[in-house]
Amino acid sequence: MSDTRHDWSLAEIRSLYALPFNDLMFQAQTVHRAHFDPNQVQVSTLLSIKTGACPEDCGYCSQSARHDTELEREKLLPLGEVISAAKAAREKGASRFCMGAAWRNPTDRNLDRVVEMIEAVQALGMQTCVTLGMLSEPQAQRLREAGLDYYNHNLDTSPEFYGNVITTRTFQDRLDTLAHVRGAGINVCCGGILGMGETGEDRARLLQELANLPEHPQSVPINLLVQVEGTPLHGAEQLDPLEFVRSIAVARILMPTSHVRLSAGRTDMSDEMQALCFLAGANSIFYGERLLTTENPAADHDRQLFQRLGIRTEQASPEAEQAACSGA
């Protein structure tokens, strides 16, 4: 009998959070081992292909034009720079290359240039992922035709807390974009951000929304807020590290076949905290020194941590190996 469900009640999720820590970890690890190699992690690298000047007012984001973060605005990167960054990521062990643009939604002309990037990265044998803001149904179809593997569009937080973080687009707008992506047959990458001042109930509601989508996101990034000076959420109360680990474990139980990804905020996590997250069922990370505009642990440190923990990384496709050997 499958343990994949889409009808989780809030009471059930509350009861998972309330379990003794060891019991919760055991349950999450049991689910994890039923679906994944417990000692293997998928590695992605994220590149900002268009930085700053976003019209949205997301309270956590340094790229919003509404916040004074002294971030230097950049135009869409040339194709050659994107290819060079993808090759470097591949050489450091990344199997998926993610590209993010600070747009409310892309224009069709923007999309033409992004499609070129998707095709070039795929030619290196890597999986592709983009995050471009809201998408229309035809735009999602266009990305599918280009062969895009994943589209990232986070819910960020619970529907109830959402208005405290973002006012320029609605929670339903996000659900609509996810529906367009699913309808086009593109894998969904969707998660949220913890530590924005939300309550434990909000964290449970976020995971309920994710787990009760018509199809579980194939990747579920769980971010820890990176506090950026000049943003409204700078100075938010720090989240208890064990509460973050509990959220990873609950996400693993609710979405047993999804990759649960440690994303933003790893710079503020100790090696021991990250090890607990892997034990709780996290099996994907972002590799590299930056996530869009915020710091991320250097790849060398990650490799050392993996070695200490006996963790292997998923390998890039055979096409990537062949391309690397041929000097592509």
Q: Hey, which residues are catalytic here?
A: 54, 58, 61, 98, 129, 189, 261
Joined together, the tokens standing for residue 223 give: 């971010």
Any idea what DSSP says for residue 311? -
- The set of residues, in sequence order, having a beta carbon less than 8 Å from that of 300 and lying 6+ positions away, is none
H or E stretch including 312? strand 312-313
Which has the closest alpha carbon to 65: 50, 74, 53, 57? Answer: 53
Which region, left, alpha or beta, applies to residue 261 given φ > 0 means left and ψ of -120 to 50 means alpha? beta
Q: How far apart are CA 152 and CA 178, in angstroms?
A: 9
Q: Are 160 and 203 in contact (CB under 8 A)?
A: no
Return the SS3 of 187: strand
Which has the closest alpha carbon to 257: 288, 281, 228? Answer: 281
Greatest CA span in the chain, whole angstroms? Answer: 55
Half-sphere exposure of 137 (CA within 13 A, CB side): 3
